[in-house]
Amino acid sequence: MRAAERLRAYDLYWYPHGSDPRPLPVLRLRFGDPDATWLHVDPRDGTILQRLDRAGRINRWLFDAAHRLDLPGLTGCRPLHDAAQWILNLLAAGIALTGIVAGWRRLRRTLSA
């Protein structure tokens, strides 16, 4: 074990999302193994609540941050999170609609030639 810390507040890797409140305080144990494993442990009964290795921490940013919008500032403020999600969904719908219109125009041009 390389380090142990007691988390009394949520941070970038231990935070509530959805209906999962995630307890506090929690112990974060960091190990010096090849995978750079972290364990989040409930200090009351020793239950391992989460295991994160290097790949899991990268996945947190590539998947959770991008797909769930689990970003700092958005996770603790539901209205801001919802607004960001609506804006991104509207942008995606606009891009899809633009593609449909461009494809339809090209198809009409091809069929009329």
**Helix and strand totals (H; E) in the chain:** 3, 4
CA 103 to chain centre: 33
Give the per-residue pLDDT at 73. 81
Judge if pTM exceeds 0.85: no
Distance CA 69, CA 18 (A): 11
Nearest Cα neighbor of 50 from 69, 23, 72 is 23
Residues 33-87: tens digit of each pLDDT:
999 999 999 999 999 999 999 999 999 999 988 888 888 888 778 899 899 999 9
Look up tokens 């921490």; give the residue.
57
